[in-house]
Amino acid sequence: MKRPVLARVLLRLYPRAFRERYGPEIEATWAAELAGAGPGRRAWIRVRGAVDLLAGALREWIRRGREGGGMGTITADLRYAVRSLTRRPGLTGAAVLTLALGIGSVTAVFSLVNGLLLRPLPYPDADRLVHVWSEHRERGWRDLDVTLPDAWAWRERTDAFQEMAAFSYVGITDESGEVPDRIDGVWSTWNLFDVLEVEPVLGRGFVEEDGREGAPTVVLVSHGYWMRMLGGDPGAVGRTVVLNGRPRTIVGVLPPEFRFLAMDAQVFTPWQGNPADGALNEHGWQALGRLAPGVDLATADRIVNEVSDRMATEHPESHEGMTARLVTLRREVAGDVAPRAAWIMLGAVLFVLLMACVNVANLLLAKGADRAGEMAVRAALGAGRGRLVRQLFVEALLLAGTGGGLGLLLARFGRDGMVAGLPDNLPPVFRFPLDLRVLGFALVVTLGSALVFGLLPAFRVSAPARALRRHGRGGTGVVGGGLVVVQTALAVLLLIGASVTARSVVAMARQEMGWDADGVLTARLSPRRDRYPGAEEVEAFHDAVLAEVRALPGVEAAGAIQSIPLQGGNTVGTVAPTSGTGEPDDWTVRISYVSPGYMEAMRLQVIRGRGIVAADGAESEAVALVNETFVERYLSGDEAVGTSLAWGRSETPIRIVGVVEDHIERSVDRPVEPSLYLPLARYPTWTRTLAVRSAGGTPEALVSGIREAVARVDPGVAVFQVRTMGDLVDLRIGGFTLIAQVMLTFGLLSLVLGAVGIYGVVSHHVARRTREIGVRLVLGAEPGDVRRTVVRQGLGRIGAGIALGLALAIPLAGVLRGVVVGVDPRSPIGFLGAALVLLAVGGVGAWLPARRASRVDPARALAAE
């Protein structure tokens, strides 16, 4: 059986008596564990086993201390370590600072990983909460909201869930205050809080009766709403608020720490009626379930899909081909990109820490060479090698501990900085405290660092051969050189990572959106249905608003759309050509409803045919625009204008009258989809977003004018989400910007650490060869030759490091694929750039000491001996 190296190394930390008696046994057990395990499991065994061995070693020493004798030497070691470290304040300070930077950065990034991925969501037994999506694989519909009857069938017809509810985010106009306010709300089946297992702090939660048709209308309010709108009135339960024109009685106030998933919802209202009788084709609900005890995700997924199959048989017209997909609530809320980005940042920062450790190891080696005499004396006085190693390792632990403590302080600032940089659309359920898990992680990292930077120098410095030979040569040469290679390689990797993410953000921000964000102000309007019950009334309202806005001074163009690009609120449907040969295909398209003037306000070119005009109304011919991708994908380049489409919501065929240029709609990191644009006048939506282009290029100046224009038409309509298009773009790119900033910081840090490391090794090398250089100069060598020899040696190692780094970068760049957009992580330019930067920085690091070498005064160098 192979002897496990890691276990053997760690066992050296134990008192000899224990090691001799139990060491082989522990190694054998360790090996037996590893023998039967797969690769992932093996890694875990090594990490967990190492923690076990470290903790055990600590236990053994404390135990020996209690029994007398041993503890005395430990305290002596500590006292000695403090003295030794304070005697070299410059060196100690440099080491502690380097470690603090490394450990602090790692801890700060880990607090992000912890908040996003490890901390449970703030609900009881949150890991049993799941989200259910509908899918239609044939049509390529993924992550489709579910219908109420679906959610209720999963609740009633399976035992997979302890409880299952459906909810929907809704915008709510709150007329309880002086001016109408627009707030986020949640509309749900009555049992939503039974799924979350959250109880109100005041009043009661929803009961089944609240969900009956015709029951009194009630509302649960958030703690924030209660404080802000009701002044924290302890008698708030029973008071009435007016939401979307409807009076509702407050039945309860939710706990202060409660946040609902993706939005900071203020009010919660129950849906009334029997959910099983809800619309079968209204995919407007999110299904949230709590798994029954003993049921796992895969089992629940299977059971839910059995019910979906039955639904498809019972309602083929709406459910044919529909399946369901379960994901854990955490994955659903965290999304895809954020977790991957967090892991990548953690990986990058671990490289930074490794570089910091290598630097400190370097320092200790250099110092160790100077301490050869001290070691020799102590050995002569009877200290065994184990004693010397332990002494040096205690020094390392002390350094790491101090660095770690300082690092925690830095981590706080780093965490605050990163959290401030997180995008505003990150779900409010996530918190990033420096909790026990983060502190524990920092402790492990600190101990791990001490092992990495402390053990090698400890063994080398205490080596008997070195201790006996004063001013031995060779010394740090090979090891120090190896460290330079490792460090250069790490720096190459970090620089490539930093440049790839930074270029990706620039590409995203600069990409051809299609529309021109500069000078555009957007604002959302939501007239109430009770005031504007019919399509004609609401269309007349929006028409009047647009007319008022267009008449404002400084407005170049204005139009409306149901949701502006990047705002969310994406609608997808299917259309089919009415003419043509063979089977009518279902074409999946993104659907937008626009008013005349919208394309002009966004500066979108209609490249063929015409745009939507005022004459395209409810009574005229049904017309639509499509985008270029639609034409390429579905019409294979045929003449689009004139083609007729069948669509479920239209009784007559819809004729394509124009083609608009491709532009970004859903997301900055997604490709353009085939799109269809229909006139709002024919398919009016109540809530719309205005796009207003200012003539002067300062859209902010239009804000008050627009508010007044809306108030002139109807003062009871809330104007909300007022922001420039540029702000919206920044908001969407925000998360990616944070990644790029963090990676750039790490890249720069790696350059500094790399330069310092190279400088340290080379200058130490030069210092130790002063005598030899002196002899050479006496024998007639030119200072230039000396300089060149030193620089050449340094550059050789840097070159080897660059080669190693580039070789490792090829597989690692693949990892970045998932989070970067618009750039190839393996582009040779990034690789070449990183190599050149390091060669330059490393060259300076080697040249400075080389210059010193060439100025050695031979007489003094020889006299020093």
Partner 1 sequence: MPNEDALKPQWFQILLALAGGPLHGTAIMEEVLERTDGDMKLWPATLYGSLRDLEERGWIRETDAPEDAPGEGGRRRFYSVTDGGREVLAAEAGRLARYLEVARERDVLGPARSG
Given 6, 9, 12, 56, the residue binding partner 1 (CB under 8 A): 56
> Stretches 54-62, 476-484, 591-599, 625-633: which one binds partner 1 (CB under 8 A)?
54-62
Alpha carbon 233 to its chain's center = 39
How far apart CA 826 and CA 812 sit, in angstroms, is 9
How far apart CA 865 and CA 858 sit, in angstroms, is 12
> Stretches 26-34, 116-124, 152-160, 430-438: which one binds partner 1 (CB under 8 A)?
26-34
* Residue 83 CB burial class (10 angstroms; 0-12, 13-18, ≥19): exposed
789 binds partner 1 (CB under 8 A): no
5 binds partner 1 (CB under 8 A): no
DSSP H helical segments within 685-782, as ranges? 703-713, 725-768, 770-778
Query: DSSP character for 282?
Result: -
Given 30, 161, 598, 677, the residue binding partner 1 (CB under 8 A): 30
**Closest distance between partner 1 and the C-beta of residue 6, in Å?**
12
399 binds partner 1 (CB under 8 A): no
How far apart CA 192 and CA 205 sit, in angstroms, is 10
Helix/strand/coil (H, E, C) string of 379-415?
A: HHCCCCHHHHHHHHHHHHHHHHHHHHHHHHHHHHHHH
52 binds partner 1 (CB under 8 A): yes
Q: Which is nearer to partner 1, 33 or 435 (CB)?
A: 33
Q: Which is nearer to partner 1, 23 or 858 (CB)?
A: 23
451 binds partner 1 (CB under 8 A): no
Q: Which is nearer to partner 1, 330 or 390 (CB)?
A: 390
Q: Which is nearer to partner 1, 28 or 808 (CB)?
A: 28
DSSP H helical segments within 635-716, as ranges? 703-713
**Closest distance between partner 1 and the C-beta of residue 20, in Å?**
12
- The amino acid occupying position 104 is G
Given 8, 12, 15, 22, the residue binding partner 1 (CB under 8 A): 22
Instruction: Give residues 457-476 in contact with partner 1 (rule: CB under 8 A).
Output: none
Task: Please give the C-alpha separations between residue 481 and each of 95, 165, 785, in angstroms, as whole numbers.
Answer: 19, 63, 21
Given 37, 43, 47, 55, the residue binding partner 1 (CB under 8 A): 55
Q: Which is nearer to partner 1, 22 or 80 (CB)?
A: 22
Query: What are φ and ψ of residue 251, in 5° steps?
Result: -105, -15
> Stretches 25-33, 73-81, 185-193, 200-208: which one binds partner 1 (CB under 8 A)?
25-33
- Count the Cβ atoms, other than its own, within 10 Å of residue 293: 8
**Closest distance between partner 1 and the C-beta of residue 18, in Å?**
7
> Stretches 28-36, 109-117, 427-435, 682-690: which one binds partner 1 (CB under 8 A)?
28-36
Q: What are the structure tokens assigned to 759, written together?
A: 């400088």
Query: What are φ and ψ of residue 325, in 5° steps?
Result: -135, 130
448 binds partner 1 (CB under 8 A): no
> Stretches 29-37, 558-566, 570-578, 679-687: which one binds partner 1 (CB under 8 A)?
29-37
Alpha carbon 837 to its chain's center = 28
796 binds partner 1 (CB under 8 A): no
- For residues 624 and 655, the answer to whether their CB atoms sit within 8 Å is yes
Q: Which is nearer to partner 1, 19 or 119 (CB)?
A: 19
Q: Which is nearer to partner 1, 1 or 864 (CB)?
A: 1
The answer to whether the Cα torsion of 301, 304, 306, 310 is positive or negative is negative
377 binds partner 1 (CB under 8 A): no
Q: Which is nearer to partner 1, 59 or 302 (CB)?
A: 59
Query: What are φ and ψ of residue 218, in 5° steps?
Result: -125, 170
436 binds partner 1 (CB under 8 A): no
- For 477, the enclosing helix (H) or strand (E) is helix 476-510
- For 447, the enclosing helix (H) or strand (E) is helix 436-462
Given 5, 25, 40, 704, the residue binding partner 1 (CB under 8 A): 25
Given 20, 37, 43, 48, the residue binding partner 1 (CB under 8 A): 48
Contacts with partner 1 by CB under 8 A: the residue count is: 22
Q: Which is nearer to partner 1, 63 or 855 (CB)?
A: 63
Task: Please give the C-alpha separations between residue 427 and each of 113, 334, 335, in angstroms, as whole numbers.
Answer: 15, 8, 10
Nearest Cα residue to 729 out of 500, 501, 505, 556? 505
Count of CA atoms in the C-beta half-sphere (13 A) of 252:
19
> Stretches 50-58, 170-178, 211-219, 362-370: which one binds partner 1 (CB under 8 A)?
50-58
Q: Which is nearer to partner 1, 127 or 857 (CB)?
A: 127
Query: What are φ and ψ of residue 62, in 5° steps?
Result: -60, -40
**Closest distance between partner 1 and the C-beta of residue 396, in Å?**
21
Nearest Cα residue to 139 out of 565, 575, 568? 575
Query: What are φ and ψ of residue 476, in 5° steps?
Result: -70, -10
Residue holding tokens 């969900």?
A: 211
Q: Which is nearer to partner 1, 33 or 586 (CB)?
A: 33
649 binds partner 1 (CB under 8 A): no
41 binds partner 1 (CB under 8 A): no
Q: Which is nearer to partner 1, 71 or 572 (CB)?
A: 71
- Count the Cβ atoms, other than its own, within 10 Å of residue 450: 25
**Closest distance between partner 1 and the C-beta of residue 833, in Å?**
46
* Residue 10 CB burial class (10 angstroms; 0-12, 13-18, ≥19): buried
How far apart CA 713 and CA 708 sit, in angstroms, is 9
The length of the chain is 865
32 binds partner 1 (CB under 8 A): yes
43 binds partner 1 (CB under 8 A): no
Q: Which is nearer to partner 1, 14 or 515 (CB)?
A: 14
Q: Which is nearer to partner 1, 33 or 374 (CB)?
A: 33
Q: Mind giving me the DSSP string for 58-127?
A: HHHHHHHHHTSSHHHHHHHHHHHHHHHHHHSHHHHHHHHHHHHHHHHHHHHHHHHHIIIIISPPSSTTGG
> Stretches 56-64, 257-265, 644-652, 827-835: which one binds partner 1 (CB under 8 A)?
56-64
Task: Please give the C-alpha separations between residue 786 and each of 30, 705, 706, 766, 857, in angstroms, as whole numbers.
Answer: 52, 75, 75, 10, 13
**Closest distance between partner 1 and the C-beta of residue 36, in Å?**
10
**Closest distance between partner 1 and the C-beta of residue 15, in Å?**
11
Given 28, 383, 767, 848, the residue binding partner 1 (CB under 8 A): 28
Instruction: Give residues 691-730 in contact with partner 1 (rule: CB under 8 A).
Output: none
Q: Which is nearer to partner 1, 26 or 221 (CB)?
A: 26
**Closest distance between partner 1 and the C-beta of residue 12, in Å?**
13
Given 37, 41, 44, 59, the residue binding partner 1 (CB under 8 A): 59
33 binds partner 1 (CB under 8 A): yes
- For residues 173 and 243, the answer to whether their CB atoms sit within 8 Å is yes
Q: Which is nearer to partner 1, 46 or 228 (CB)?
A: 46
Q: Which is nearer to partner 1, 53 or 850 (CB)?
A: 53
Nearest Cα residue to 187 out of 272, 289, 85, 309? 272
21 binds partner 1 (CB under 8 A): yes
29 binds partner 1 (CB under 8 A): yes
Q: Which is nearer to partner 1, 47 or 810 (CB)?
A: 47
> Stretches 51-59, 299-307, 600-608, 634-642: which one binds partner 1 (CB under 8 A)?
51-59
Tell me which residues touch partner 1 (CB under 8 A).
1, 7, 18, 21-22, 24-26, 28-30, 32-33, 48-49, 52-53, 55-57, 59-60
